[in-house]
Structure 1
Amino acid sequence: MIPILQTVPPHLVTLADHETHALGLLDANARAYFSGGAGDEYTLRANQQAWNQISLRPRVLRSLVGGHTRINLLGRTLAHPILLAPVAFQRLAHNDGELASAYAAAMQGAGFILSTQASVALEVIAQAIRDEPQRGPLWFQLYWQHDKTLTQQLVQRAEQAGYEALVLTVDAASSGVRDRERRAGFTLPDSVFAANLAGFPAPPPVILEPGQSALFDGLLRHAPTWDDIGWLQSITSLPILLKGIMHEEDARLAQQHGVAGIIVSNHGGRTLDTVAATATLLPQIRAAVGSDFIVLVDGGIRRGTDLLKAVALGADAVLLGRPAIYGLRNAGAIGVAHVLRLLRDELEVAMALCGCAVLADVTSAVICAGRTEAPICS
């Protein structure tokens, strides 16, 4: 299956333009799912606002000849520090779904992380792009299943298909309280389903005693703990990253458990509302694990200057979620590629105008902070 090639409307010149245009095209069901957050959506808004509250401190008259955005990540050289975040059910936005997003990532040299809850099977995605010479990393995001045998099956399928790392989501033991989805009466249409979980048995019913909680004594019986990280490492040779780290103590524990890296993420504000913005959390988490441990970040990245600030605060790379979905809705694979290219071009301009030829030049000296834990301008 080859994605349908579309044209990006000429007036879409920023990621914000893509969002505005896409929100006019998405139906109410999909709009609530992709754009909504948990609760009153304070964290959803804070993620983007926090990047805006950080100011830049450019340097001038520096030589920029030979500058580039390349980074090394898990033994691979990437053209730029951008990966597409795992977003479920992308066929809600466009019929080509995750396949279009994967092709776009490959075209632009971006990393691609496929969700367990993708609406296109992991084998189809891998077969489509794994042999593309210029593609970025291909990773599989793992949701822990109610039966370890099912979790192991997913891991083995990802390994056999050619995925290069596992991204275990650890911040969503239960779904968040998503008011927008409830008001919209969100449901998946029959044509959209979790393709990777097709045929998996439902969890067995739990008989609760009087006074027991359906959440704590039911659903959360199957949630992973730190003890399960060792088991996961024992069944795979793939590097494992933990997505959803929001506290420096958990960052240290992840490092002590020998995982390959972490992703500072509050799930795009979709699970627990009033959690701090990732820009606020990032600096102390980086400080907790030192400079040599892989730390990625997502949440609210909308400009190349946001990406520059993320690197200055300690991120090795960023994950892009909603903006890619908006590009997907607007123009399929070409729309996602356009979003990625806009962000990369803006990053290069921001680096040049801050006097940074390479990403190693982007340090905390480049920024001033408002309400984050980054250095304060004196």
Structure 2
Amino acid sequence: MKALLALEDGRIFRGYAFGALKEAGGEVVFNTSMTGYQEILTDPSYKGQIVTLTYPLIGNYGVNSSDVESARPQVEGLIVREKSSIFSNWRAEKSLEVYLEEHGILGIERIDTRALTKHIREKGAMRGFIALGDNLDVEALVAKARSLPEMSGQDLVKVVTTSKPYLWQEKGTFKVAVIDCGVKFNILRELAKRGCRVEVYPAFSTAKEILATKPDGILFSNGPGDPAALPYLVECAQQLIGKVPIFGICLGHQILSLALGGNTFKLKFGHHGGNHPVKDLFTERVTVTAQNHGFAVDPTSLPREDVEITHLNLNDHTLEGIRHKKLPLFSVQFHPEAGPGPHDTTYLFDNFVSLMEESHA
């Protein structure tokens, strides 16, 4: 079936639908990863967004029940150049098309994804609407795109967070309370690998409730939307800082930065992919990182008497990491858990465990 993508600035792209045959709308972004489409689809940080994959052939290794980062696909829609008509992998359980259909997600293929990506890079991420059929009213679809809520000001964490606490791994040397802002399963897996008892709590949990469980450490997870629209999480972080070691990832990094007095801003088209070079300013080591965020922390807004910058993005020199000078707290904008992406920075989970060990010494 024919499909049409209409962007809020009036640019249109024509293609063919697959997956669930239904309309879709959201902020259109692009991801430069060459593999890992299933992990991308199930990453809660993509809630409210239609994802364009820049790699030209998608679906060739199918889908399985193990390579997921949440319970279901979270994207509003998927845009690809070509959907593979066959899939071949010993772990595959079904095709990408069937997977999307089962979960009510629309895909659109035979789009010029290079042109779309170039347009987003030049004009910025923008709202888009995908409709099905022939002889569509383009002006009406552009108007629908413009009527969608903007990403700035949106609290999407409340949509993706768990409704009640749950235990990921029961046994462990240290008890880690993970505040679920849209947590990826690989964060939980990395903590479990290091012998942590992993407990996951809703984003609306209070600091008092978290501290009552007597955690050895707290992790603020990744998640979708605008960090400035999450005052309840910032307040929770402020009340937790200094009590136990804290680690923040992506949105969690932004929340901790806001709690420490910083400000955030929206990036033009965000960072989405598995090939972003980041420099550790203390070791001068450069690592290739996985990233997925549309907002960033303003480094000039942080109180330098308490906070020091630890990591810098070498593509656009945006802030990628901080640590507190006196308290056991650090955070990074990139994704050390990968899923998908390089594993260059998984050592940060070891650093978190070391902080908990030091607090017990």
Greater fraction of residues in strand: 2
TM-score by length of 1: 0.28
Higher relative contact order (CA 8 A, sep 6+): 1
Higher helix share: 1
